[in-house]
Structure 1
Amino acid sequence: MRKSTRSVLGVVALTSAVALALSGCARGGDGGGSDGAATASPGITDEKITLGITTPLSGSTAGPGTCTVAGITAYFGAVNADGGVEFGDGKTRTVEIKALDDGYDPQKAKSNYDQLKDSVFAMTAGLGTPTNRAYREAAIADEVPQVLVMTGDPIFSETEESPWQIGFVPIYQNEGEAFGKLLAESGQDHKVAILAQNDDYGEGYVEGFMDGIEGADNVEVVKELTYEATDTSVDAQLTELASTDADVFFNAMSITPLVISALEKAQQLSWLPSWFLPSNTSSPGAIVTPGGGDAFPGVYTVAFAQSASSPTFAEEAEGQQFLDQLKEYANYSDVPAFPHCVWSYQVGATLQTVFEQMTEPTRDNFMEALRSVDGLEAPFMLEGTSVNTTEDGLPAVSTVVVQKYNGAGYATVQDFG
């Protein structure tokens, strides 16, 4: 029987509440003392390490937000059932996840951080640029790691600007540039219309796209419009963009309902360009199929991980194991419609690698180990991609491949068309 998102959220909320009630057990440790050993940071003991997540579990981004909790919960649920993680200091610890709902509200995200910061070792996996930015400066001041978070904002990966942060997913510029280069190298003339979210998210995608087509005389941007993340409709923008007769629509949007309505509005206007969608709003099952993506010549996105919604995913033993673990340890019975379930599962694998390198139970030692991961092939990475945290200014994953929607999922493409 398939569980609804509401059921999953209820379980997460209950788990979080229980975890918070037990938060007194997560502070300190036996690291300090007369033997000269390092004093353990908050959120880690000899038996357990506790991680915090603030992410949208309600509202318009609840789907991907719930996945950011489910994937990492499933990963460490299986690890804990197997005995836990053997850290580099010789201690074996289980991993506890405390997840709170921020509804994609920056103020709520900051409140959640304030609630969690003294009982967790690190914040991780949370979705959203404005929500992660809301507590970034506080995390730096408090020296609390805010790592492998789900935002493409490049500021999180600049060591000097953000010494306690690093993003997980490719920066927006990486994604936009990959698609721009595909167009520029197509050998065909293209007129491009752009609709971008009016914030760092949208600006980053457009900046990358412009870099990708720089110097290409076969690609012309004929109109560029914006929308606000709080808007409930983009019909007016679609109508104006459709009048350009552009054959390519670069759609830098992060709000799921608006992407679906934009797909539908374009069809109502009989405007059928090829589309580019950001990786976090390109779900076949949750966005492209409901929006009628088959009506367009092509719907493109970029990816670094396999899609759990692909018809062939569960045919592989590793894919079926992942789906089983989601059900058993995260109470998530649906086939994930959003890529964030796989992404946060990869975050779990990355964190385990870091934990195994930690020789002291401190946040400083954790950050040192985290910034030394190079060439890690986490579960479900696409060929040619890997986790590399050693390059300043880049997130843990910075390599992507362009993919095209094929009616059920996405397949990697080399050429546009």
Structure 2
Amino acid sequence: MKRNIRKRGVLGAVALSAAALLVLSACARDGGGEASPGITDETITLGVTTPLSGGTAGPGTCTVAGLRAYMGAANAAGGIEFGDGKTREVQIEALDDAYDPQKASSNFQTLKNEAFAITSGLGTPTNLAWREAATADEVPQALVMTGDPIFSDQEESPWSLGWVPVYQNEGEAFGEMLASSSEDHKVAILSQNDDFGEGYVEGFKEAIAGSDNIEVVGELTYEATDTSVDAQLTELAATDADVFFNAMSITPLVISSLERAQSIGWEPSWFLPSNTSSPGAILEPGGASAYPGVYSVAFAKAPASPEFSDDEDVQTFLANLDEYADYSDVPAFPHCMWSYMLGATLEQVFQDMEEPTRESFMESLRSIEDFQAPLMLEGTTVNTTEDGEPAVSTVVVQKYNGQGFDTVDQLE
């Protein structure tokens, strides 16, 4: 089931010497003017602020690993030829923000004069922490991993663009599938008390509005800093809901929630966000096979899925991940695949850049249309040309099969 996003001169007494002009030309673009920070004729530096420690370190580490894998392979092949005719090597500087907005903001201040663009980092509160500063300083906040629609609104965020589908889209996709069921369902909702959780719930509720067969019988929230949601699960279990919509972004809490619900005898069908539905890192440790169904959405091929074990894209990805990112395991989180696809998209942007400036980068960034990045599922593409939408705006609904996910059209 595929779902698309809805919307939303006079010379001075001292002239520059010929020698000085030659020095400046190394950093100047054709037609005059200096290149932006973080780029030379030989290299371009990309910055990343993302959680490399704490509860979201697993997916956060993947946001760097996939990018290193793609760019490492590109560098080994001779670098990337940019639209200005120069071939450059891509360097990556990644800083840990531990999913802390204050640390993310501090990281931005460190990176803004060292990196040409800041990309790939995970988290809504952390990316929001420096979005306004990026706009004020005219630093690209490019293809960041948050589903908040504000990052793709050109008026509100002219120097930003989201990478992953907006939260509303994921929630809507599951809501539409549930609403199409021929049976009656009672739904319990637990959501993170921020834009992340609110977005998922908003999309879900809009999709089930007017459906006679769907009743929301309980709705609670939790804080991203909480270490337990046992009390909320106990209260929601008392509703006897047969579907649990869990808009949760913290890996340890998802695992403990799966375990807790079983321990109190509550076994509904689950919906989980795409970033917290990893088969190996979350569902298997949490005992997800005990439930009648665990559903999520995706736009990337999962290497752990038997369906893609021999896929050429997957094999190339795994080899590059091992060689250039020192990541030898099959990724437990989709963010490894997402950042690899993101790297391929950035290569397209670089190839179209006519000048080594952030302005030229943003112009090229917003001109990618129907790009089939490596690892993309059939029916999904990268499109950055529509205001209000992130780079990826299509998803398919999938059901956990004990190892990976299968695409489905209805609740099973």
Tell me the TM-score normalized by structure 2: 0.93
Could you say what secondary structure the match of 1:188 adopts?
coil
Tell me if structure 1 keeps the 8 A contact 2:168–2:202.
yes
Could you say what secondary structure the match of 1:376 adopts?
coil
Q: CA deviation at 1:325?
A: 0.7
Q: Let me know the Cα RMSD of the aligned residues.
A: 1.2
Q: CA deviation at 1:30?
A: 2.8
Distance 1:134 1:161 in 2: 14
Pick closer, same or farther for the CA change 1:29–1:169 going to 2, 3 Å. farther
1:159 aligns with one of 144, 154, 161 = 154
1:220-231, aligned counterparts within 5 Å? 220-231=215-226
Percent identical among aligned pairs is: 72
Distance 1:103 1:176 in 2: 26
Deviation string 1:258-277 (CA, Å, 9 cap, x unpaired) is 00111011101111100000
Matched, 1:123 2:118: yes
1:139-178, aligned counterparts within 5 Å? 139-178=134-173
Q: Which structure 2 residue ranges, 5 or more long, are not aligned?
A: 1-23
1:66 aligns with one of 61, 64, 81 = 61
Matched, 1:32 2:28: yes
Distance 1:219 1:29 in 2: 65
Matched, 1:412 2:393: no
Q: Which structure 1 residue ranges, 5 or more long, are not aligned?
A: 1-27
Q: CA deviation at 1:245?
A: 0.4
Tell me if structure 1 keeps the 8 A contact 2:59–2:336.
yes
Count, aligned residues:
389
Which residue in the other structure is 1:310 paired with? 305
Which residue in the other structure is 2:347 paired with? 352
1:368-379, aligned counterparts within 5 Å? 368-379=363-374
Distance 1:284 1:154 in 2: 27
Distance 1:315 1:306 in 2: 11
Matched, 1:241 2:236: yes
Tell me if structure 2 keeps the 8 A contact 1:52–1:99.
yes
Amino acid at match of 2:256: S
Q: CA deviation at 1:308?
A: 2.2
Amino acid at match of 2:302: S
Deviation string 1:129-165 (CA, Å, 9 cap, x unpaired) is 1111111111111000001001011110000000000
Matched, 1:386 2:404: no
Q: CA deviation at 1:214?
A: 1.5
Distance 2:229 2:410 in 1: 30
Deviation string 1:292-322 (CA, Å, 9 cap, x unpaired) is 1011000000011111222343422321221
Tell me if structure 2 keeps the 8 A contact 1:140–1:164.
yes
Distance 2:33 2:211 in 1: 56
1:277 aligns with one of 268, 272, 276 = 272
Could you say what secondary structure the match of 2:205 adopts?
helix
Distance 1:311 1:233 in 2: 34
Which residue in the other structure is 1:24 paired with? none
Distance 1:399 1:320 in 2: 24
Tell me if structure 2 keeps the 8 A contact 1:192–1:220.
yes
1:264-303, aligned counterparts within 5 Å? 264-303=259-298
Distance 2:313 2:190 in 1: 38
Amino acid at match of 2:92: I
Tell which structure's C-alpha radius of gyration is larger. 2
Distance 2:400 2:280 in 1: 11
Distance 1:53 1:194 in 2: 33
Distance 2:333 2:359 in 1: 33
Q: CA deviation at 1:195?
A: 0.1
Which residue in the other structure is 2:97 paired with? 102
Distance 2:401 2:32 in 1: 56
Tell me if structure 1 keeps the 8 A contact 2:399–2:406.
yes
Matched, 1:364 2:359: yes
Could you say what secondary structure the match of 2:46 adopts?
strand
Tell me if structure 1 keeps the 8 A contact 2:301–2:314.
no
Q: CA deviation at 1:36?
A: 3.1
4+ residue stretches of structure 1 with deviation over 6 A? Answer: none
Could you say what secondary structure the match of 1:115 adopts?
helix
Could you say what secondary structure the match of 1:318 adopts?
helix
Distance 2:157 2:303 in 1: 32
